[in-house]
Homo-oligomer: A and B are copies of this chain.
Amino acid sequence: MSDQVIGIIAGILTSASTLPQLIKTIKKKEASDLSAYIFIMLIVGTGLWVYYGVLKDDIPIIATNSFSVLLNVIGLFLKFKYSPKEEMLS
């Protein structure tokens, strides 16, 4: 198996781990068990991984972390959409 295939599989598994939580939040229209801080941390972290991938010219890192950035931005959006105002940053 080529290095790239291993990187892509690794990235799909780690990125997709966010999906069940997002699906649950959309179904329940309820986000009080999500943390805005963690999404912000993950957006910065996966964003830096994308930048690292660009520096290293590494396609699996760029592709799968771009997908993660997107999922975490959606997560943060859902947090603000479905949380009562007073617990928005809890």
Contacts and interface: CB of A to CB of B under 8 A. Distances in A.
Interface string A44-57: 11101101100110
Interface in A30-54: 33, 35, 38, 41-42, 44-46, 48-49, 51-52
B3 A56 contact: yes
Copies in the complex: 2
A13 B60 contact: no
Interface residues of A, number: 28
A52 B6 CA distance: 6
A56 B55 contact: no
A44 B12 CA distance: 11
Contact of A14 (B12, B13, B45): B45
Contact of A48 (B13, B17, B46): B13
